[in-house]
Amino acid sequence: MAELEQRVRALLGAGGDGGGRDAATEAIRVMGPRVLRYIRSLLRDEEAARDAFSRWAENVWKGLPGFRWDAPLSAWGFRLAHHAALNVQGEAWRRRGRPFATGEASRLAEEVRTRTAVRVERQRRALDVLRESLSVADRALLALRIDQDLPWAEIAHALAAGGEEVDPATLMKRFERLKARLARMAKEQGLLE
């Protein structure tokens, strides 16, 4: 991800109208597959994941030129993804079926999503039974740590609520309890011997 940050910074530094667009395109293309896996693990619904991923891409597209670099780019990206997933899950318009408007970033998001769909689907099936019973908060923690392999400080930044960061040590303890609970559940369901 350090290479991505360097490329994005260079593209943003190039200035002009194309710099921000090129930087956002690069960020979406590189981070997109990991972010999509994360969103899918949170929402467990392909249509909702598509909408949240599209919203994430739009937010990256619009927000990257103003990104302050006070956190790693990947943590910022996963924070946007987390909020996009929560917003899509909680919005009443989903129940009415109004589609999310697409733009250039949404088309790019769709390209990344379809390219990785088959591979991600195979990986996802193995964990569906256990993850389905978890809360969104637990799924977020699990996805950021295991699926995305983020360091604890970046996870704390990504899961910050209302601007208040979570203590990484608290997240580590919560994660350990979650792993123990998942192991018990897997054993009870016959997934482990």
List, for residues 181-192, the tens digit of each pLDDT value. Answer: 988 887 776 655
Note whether residue 193 is domain-resident: no
Distance CA 102, CA 51 (A): 10
User: What DSSP string runs through the chain?
Assistant: -HHHHHHHHHHHHT-HHHHHHHHHHHHHHHHHHHHHHHHHHHH--HHHHHHHHHHHHHHHHHHGGG---SS-HHHHHHHHHHHHHHHHHH-THHHHTPPPP--HHHHHHHHHHHHHHHHHHHHHHTTHHHHTTS-HHHHHHHIIIIIS---HHHHHHHT-BTTBPPPHHHHHHHHHHHHHHHHHHHHHTTS--
Whole-number average pLDDT of the chain:
83
Average pLDDT over residues 137-153: 89
C-alpha pair distances (Å), 7 with each of 12, 33, 124, 146: 9, 18, 31, 26
Average pLDDT over residues 86-91: 86
Reported confidence tier of residue 74, pLDDT bands at 50, 70, 90: very high
Average pLDDT over residues 109-114: 73
For residue 192, what pLDDT is reported?
59
Reported confidence tier of residue 115, pLDDT bands at 50, 70, 90: low
Domain that holds residue 114: 2-188
Note whether residue 74 is domain-resident: yes
List, for residues 9-32, the tens digit of each pLDDT value. Answer: 999 887 766 668 899 999 999 999
* Number of domain units in the chain: 1
For residue 123, what pLDDT is reported?
46
* Residue recorded with tokens 């006070």: 70
Note whether residue 12 is domain-resident: yes
For residue 124, what pLDDT is reported?
54
- Across 38-52, 100-114, 175-189, least confident range: 100-114
For residue 84, what pLDDT is reported?
95
Note whether residue 164 is domain-resident: yes
